[in-house]
Amino acid sequence: MKLFTCPGCGLRLHFENVVCTRCGVTLGFIPEETLLTAFEAAGDGAWTRTADGRRYRTCANSLEHQVCNWMVAQENEIFCVACCLNRTIPDLSQSKSRALWHRLEIEKRRLVYAMLRLGLPVVSRSRDPAGLEFDFLADTPASFSERDRVMTGHDEGLITINVAEADPAERTRMRDQMAEPYRTVLGHFRHESGHYYWDRLVRDSAALEGFRAMFGDETLDYGKALEHHYASGPPPDWREQFVSEYASSHPWEDWAETWAHYLHIVDTLETAFSYGLRIRPRAGAENLEVHHDFDPYLANDAGVLVEHWLPLSVALNSLNRSMGHEHAYPFALAPRVIEKLGFVHDVVHGASAGK
C-alpha cells in the first residue's frame, strides 16, 4: 500500500484516513486514480476535489454507516466501486456487527485497491453475470456444530466471509484449530479472490494448459481431495512443491494460495517502497542487500519481485521476533513455488495488458 500526502499541509496520509489530523481537511479516496486526496463540501451532498474542483459524492456506506472513505464520480451511482460489490452486509442491529463489518470493509478495500492497481476487472455481479459479489454472514444461534457454521468460500463469483473472522479472538481460535500459521481477514479476501480470478483469467483461456502443467489437473474430484487432505494431511514433501499445507489439497487451492501470496508480496513491497526501506545487513549475509526503488505492481518480471521479497521477509520476521511476536511471514518459498508465483504474475499481467 502506498502512502499519500495532504495537498493542503503536506502531512503524510494513510489509506484509511478520513480527515487530515494537521489541517482538518476532509479526505476521500478516488478509486479511478487510486488516490487519497482532499475535498471541500459543495452542498447537496456533493464534494469538490480541492486540487481541480471536480465534483464527487461520498459513498452511501460513508454517509449512513461511516465504514467507507471512497468517493463516487458517477451521478447515478450510490455506492463506490468497492461497496457496490456487497450483496449482503451483517445485521447491524447486533451490537458487535458494525465494528466487525468495518474491519471487513477495510480489508476488502485493500483487496479492491490491489485489483485496480493490477488492472484486473472489478465489477459487481448485479451488472455483469461474470462479476464479483460479497456476502458477509454471521453464524446463527442454531449453529451448534462446525458443519452448521457459515463457511468462508467462493461460488461462481460470490465470496462469502464469516463475520466472525473479523473478531481477533475467534480468528485466533480458528487458526489454532486449523493448524494454520497465518490467518488474517485480508488473507481470506486474497485467497477467495484467487478462486474468482481463476474463473475469469484461466478457466476458459489459453492459460489453462499452462496451469495444468504447473498446478495439476483441476478436474480431479474436489470434494474427495479435501476429504483426503483433512483425513491424511499434506504429503511429506509438500514444502518442496507448495506454499502452504492447504495448497497441496487440490490444484484449485494451490492456485488460490499462490495467488494470495502473490498479492501479499506485491502489496508489502509497495509499502516498503513507500517508506523508502533499504535492507543492508551489517553482519555477513551480503546477498540480502536490496533497495526497494520500484513499483511492484508494474514489475515486468516476477523474479524481480522475489529478489526483493526474500530479504524483506527475513527482515520482517526478525523485527517481529524482536517484539516477541511470531514470524510475520511464516513461509519458505521453494524453487517450485517461485515458478508458480511467476505463472500467476504472467497471468495477471497478461490480463492487464489485454484490456
64-79 pLDDT per residue, tens: 899 999 999 988 889 9
Where does 2-95 have alpha helices with state H? 60-65
Place of cell 456506506: 61
pLDDT (0 to 100) of residue 176: 67
Q: Please give the C-alpha separations between residue 154 and each of 148, 183, 221, 295, 328, in angstroms, as whole numbers.
A: 17, 17, 17, 30, 26
Helix (H) or strand (E) holding 214: helix 207-215
Give the residue among 230, 117, 246 at the shortest CA–CA distance from 187. 246
pLDDT band at 293 (very low <50, low <70, confident <90, very high): low
Q: What is the DSSP letter of 248?
A: G
Where does 55-184 have alpha helices with state H? 60-65, 97-117, 168-177
pLDDT (0 to 100) of residue 64: 87
Place of cell 478457466: 203
pLDDT (0 to 100) of residue 40: 92
Report the phi/psi class of residue 66: left, alpha or beta, with left for phi > 0 and alpha for psi in -120 to 50: left
pLDDT in tens, 87-140: 999 988 887 888 999 999 999 999 999 999 999 999 999 999 999 999 999 887
Q: Please give the C-alpha separations between residue 27 and each of 8, 35, 42, 76, 188, in angstroms, as whole numbers.
A: 11, 10, 14, 22, 28
Q: Please give the C-alpha separations between residue 336 and each of 19, 215, 252, in angstroms, as whole numbers.
A: 45, 10, 16
Q: Provide the whole-model pTM.
A: 0.91
pLDDT in tens, 164-220: 888 877 777 777 676 677 778 999 999 999 999 999 999 999 999 999 999 999 999
Distance CA 26, CA 6 (A): 10
Give the residue among 98, 110, 113 at the shortest CA–CA distance from 33. 113
What is the sign of the dihedral through the CA atoms of 255, 166, 163 and 26?
negative
Distance CA 352, CA 118 (A): 7
Query: Do 11 and 22 contact (CB within 8 A), yes or no?
Result: yes
pLDDT (0 to 100) of residue 146: 60
Query: Do 249 and 229 contact (CB within 8 A), yes or no?
Result: yes
Burial 159-188 (b: 16+ CB within 10 A, else e): bbbbbbbbbeeebeebeeeeebebeebbbb
